Structure 1
Amino acid sequence: MISLADIQQRIEQGALSPDGAIAQALEAIRVQDGTIGAFVRHDQRARAQDSGPLRGIAVGIKDIIDTADFPTEMGAAIYRGHQPRADAPVVMALRNAGATIIGKTTTTAFAANDPTATRNPHNHSHTPGGSSSGSAAAVAAGMVPLALGTQTGGSVIRPASFCGVAAIKPSYRLLPTVGVKCFSWTLDTVGLFASGVRDVARGLAAMTGRPALVVPAHIAAPRIGVVTQDFAGAPEPSGAEALQRAARAAEQAGASVRTLAMPEMVAEAWRIHPVVQDFEAHQSFAWEYGRNHDAMPPLLRGRLDQSRGGTPLDYDAAIAVAARARLALAAVFDEVDVLLTLSAPGAAPEGLSSTGDPRYNRLWTLMGVPCVNVTALTAAGGLPVGVTVIAPFGADARALAAAAFVEDALRA
């Protein structure tokens, strides 16, 4: 993988030019992407910008995010050749920070269920996860040091776990979703992938203008609450081992670690996440589903067919549950600084017909809290397995610092 921080340091020292860094990314794409299939398209003539903290940093953009100089096709035949007139604000934020938008990365159709042909760089017979398949795979394969994805259920954290990269699903609306194909306006969140937690933090800090997000040189040992999410079912052995290993490493490094049970209201929020997601999806895809039903990607079409019975009454009740659950979760953070939980049931499933199960991610997306994936172990077949560090809403700097603490402890 390519470290964003390392590229920045080499550029500052004069050991690497910004254009040289972009050229390295283009060469890596040329060599790797024929096998991995992480990019829908890329600009072979891309050059570095003249200034900005992210100059020389090549960035892949998930193909549901609007770009003025690349089509945005959303992984769906309905939008083949669709060319936005403007960049989404998150893309402009990257450009304004000096980054080079090198191309569009693959997405499951409409960031939903229908998978891409993208392969896991660690084991090509396994999925990279989804829906941000290409962004996670591009970073994991060392093609780019930074990539944008989105999460509505588990579409940033789960592929980050499967591909062995760091990622953040920030606090809800820290990054704007204007110019991003909407699935569920209550849930959709733009996130970032990079090789390590400090790299993710640098990228997020630069594009938001928030230097406090950069991980400090000294990190105080956090108070960690381990959450197994029993209401979501038992994990696979590799998932359970990853969580145990991360908790043990953090404790040995000086963190206070204890197991926490979630309030019943929080567990209830996990159960109603699909109600919110599907009800809003029917409105978000009203044109596609209503006017182009037969051209819709089949798994998403079937999902919408099955959820047509959702009522405004059901939805309003679910939104009320979510609001109460957010208050209950906020009270949990009176006892600990961060939570540590599963990023996925286990390692990436074999085959490309499924992107895996988001059941350990969806609660935190509904709660709107910042989540950071940290790679915790390598399972059979060379497949990574991650864990998630979670902080209170708005405490993204805390989440990143604690995740860096856990990452360091695991590497010690």
Structure 2
Amino acid sequence: MTSSRATTPLHQLDAWQAASLLARRELQAVDLVRACLDRIAEREPQLQAFVQLGADAALATARELDAGPVRGLLHGLPFGVKDLFDTCDLPTAYGSPIYAGQQPLADAAAVALCREAGAVLLGKTVTTELANMFPGVTRNPHHTEHTPGGSSSGSAAAVADAMLPLALGTQTAGSLIRPAAFCGVVGYKPSHNRVPRAGVKSLSETLDTVGGFARSVRDVALLGAVLTGDTRLADPAAFAQTAAPRIGFCRTPEWAQADEDTQQAWAQAEAALAGHGAPLALPPELAGLVAVQKEVQAFETARSLSDERLRHRDQLSAPLQALIAAGLAIAGDTHAHNLRVTAQARHQAQALFGSHDVLLAPSSIGEAPAGLDGTGDPLFCRTWTLLGLPCVHLPFARGRRGLPVGLQLVGAPGDDHRLLAAAHWVHARLSW
């Protein structure tokens, strides 16, 4: 650990490395916070990842942590929070002018859990408008003329650019995995309902999932252990395992839409993991779920945003108004049918893991698209989100333009600890 500290700038330390140093008092929280704030000051004008910083409060919290006992798994670690989560000490606007300057009275549950574990909130990160597709101002740290993805754009970009070791995000379609893919970081979407959503602006009760970003699998496991309360996720023994997971290579029915960059990353992964898995085609009953996910999201989002639609329509973007209109056009009995299909599919998905521990699947169509007027297509995330399965994006390659490309591992429902252990094993065998 001391050698890592000696050769690596503090703001570039992996969270698990910094956590170990902080727990042994070989690193002061205030020094780590200052290093991250310095990095933010240097890079924020180019990336615009934050909507609000709480530098003074973060330094004060760090001093308290340095003067007291080690508080928990995230003791002294700076983190960022997507501006979809309520925070008691920083405004929360949900990426919308409707809520500009709103100051919640309480933290979202996930934020409170992180603080309880000793994490230091540095600021609120940019989200798209009400966590939908209309982009925010954040730019991709690898090429500022490309999108960072969405809707957790600021969180992914801040972690990728070493402004923060950890950040919270959410996923309703692909809002954790896609920005992780575009920015080249590890993104973790837990099993549905494993993390409390209280205090997070709701879009879809069926789909919304709280997760996060980091620069290694061990880092997101540390965050996941705090968010889920399941300490198995961060058990060091799990990351020392030598047994290979059984991998199902699942291109998905949407594979024809993967571009050359994703296809090359797939071939690279197949070669690196040869002998540890076999191709897996989704059964017919699990095909066609992309369309179901789109309808469920549109129906529930349109109704979750009823107040915004009825009282603040002129402050909603045209794309969001169009999504709401499409959602309102879906009949209630159609939605009830879609929920039955979802419940049946979630039950059937468990059979995918009878002979496989994890599935390897595409994360995105390819590299982050050029331009800042969109956030990219979440196509390859929609099915797994509908199924409620845990997912981890693993960055390990570069596309034709030099931007990050990777793939995701998908786990059995509720088996987040096994998925993360397998992801660590797989990631170590892929070159980055």
Q: Which TM-score bucket, shorter chain as reference?
A: over 0.9
1:178 equivalent to 2:219? Answer no
What residue is the counterpart of 1:229 in the other structure? Answer: 252
Give the 3-state SS of the residue equivalent to 2:380 in structure 1: coil
What residue is the counterpart of 1:304 in the other structure? Answer: 324
Change (3 A) 1:170 1:38: same
What residue is the counterpart of 2:52 in the other structure? Answer: 41
**Structure 1 residue ranges without an equivalent (≥5):** none
AA aligned to 2:167 is A
What residue is the counterpart of 2:6 in the other structure? Answer: none
Give the 3-state SS of the residue equivalent to 1:362 in structure 2: helix
What is the root-mean-square deviation in Å for CA atoms of aligned residues? Answer: 1.4
Distance apart, 1:33 and its partner CA:
0.8
AA aligned to 1:180 is V
Equivalence map 1:5-404=2 (5 Å): 5-45=16-56, 46-47=58-59, 48=62, 49=65, 50=68, 51-214=71-234, 215-231=238-254, 233-251=256-274, 256-404=276-424
User: What percentage of residue pairs aligned between the two structures are identical?
Assistant: 41
Is the CA contact 1:263–1:328 (under 8 Å) kept in the aligned structure 2?
Answer: no
Is the CA contact 2:139–2:145 (under 8 Å) kept in the aligned structure 1?
Answer: yes
- Looking at structure 2, the residues matched to 67 and 376 of structure 1 have their Cα atoms a distance apart, in angstroms, of 34
Is the CA contact 1:64–1:74 (under 8 Å) kept in the aligned structure 2?
Answer: yes
- Looking at structure 1, the residues matched to 346 and 296 of structure 2 have their Cα atoms a distance apart, in angstroms, of 15
Distance apart, 1:232 and its partner CA:
6.1
Give the 3-state SS of the residue equivalent to 1:339 in structure 2: strand
Give the 3-state SS of the residue equivalent to 1:261 in structure 2: coil
Can you list the C-alpha shifts for 1:211-231, whole angstroms capped at 9, x where unaligned? 210243124201101111124
Change (3 A) 1:159 1:27: same
The two structures have a TM-score, normalised by structure 2, of 0.92
AA aligned to 1:169 is K
Change (3 A) 1:206 1:354: same
Distance apart, 1:380 and its partner CA:
2.6
Distance apart, 1:233 and its partner CA:
4.1
What residue is the counterpart of 2:3 in the other structure? Answer: none
AA aligned to 1:43 is G
What residue is the counterpart of 2:14 in the other structure? Answer: 3
Is the CA contact 1:268–1:321 (under 8 Å) kept in the aligned structure 2?
Answer: no
Is the CA contact 1:344–1:358 (under 8 Å) kept in the aligned structure 2?
Answer: yes
The two structures have a TM-score, normalised by structure 1, of 0.96
Change (3 A) 1:208 1:329: closer
Distance apart, 1:301 and its partner CA:
1.1
- Looking at structure 2, the residues matched to 35 and 322 of structure 1 have their Cα atoms a distance apart, in angstroms, of 42
Give the 3-state SS of the residue equivalent to 1:91 in structure 2: helix
- Looking at structure 2, the residues matched to 143 and 378 of structure 1 have their Cα atoms a distance apart, in angstroms, of 22
Is the CA contact 2:73–2:222 (under 8 Å) kept in the aligned structure 1?
Answer: no
Can you list the C-alpha shifts for 1:138-172, whole angstroms capped at 9, x where unaligned? 00000000000000000000000110100110001
- Looking at structure 1, the residues matched to 108 and 277 of structure 2 have their Cα atoms a distance apart, in angstroms, of 40
Change (3 A) 1:382 1:199: same
Can you list the C-alpha shifts for 1:169-221, whole angstroms capped at 9, x where unaligned? 00011111111001111000001100011111112113433221024312420
Is the CA contact 1:7–1:57 (under 8 Å) kept in the aligned structure 2?
Answer: yes
Is the CA contact 2:397–2:431 (under 8 Å) kept in the aligned structure 1?
Answer: no
- Looking at structure 2, the residues matched to 351 and 233 of structure 1 have their Cα atoms a distance apart, in angstroms, of 24
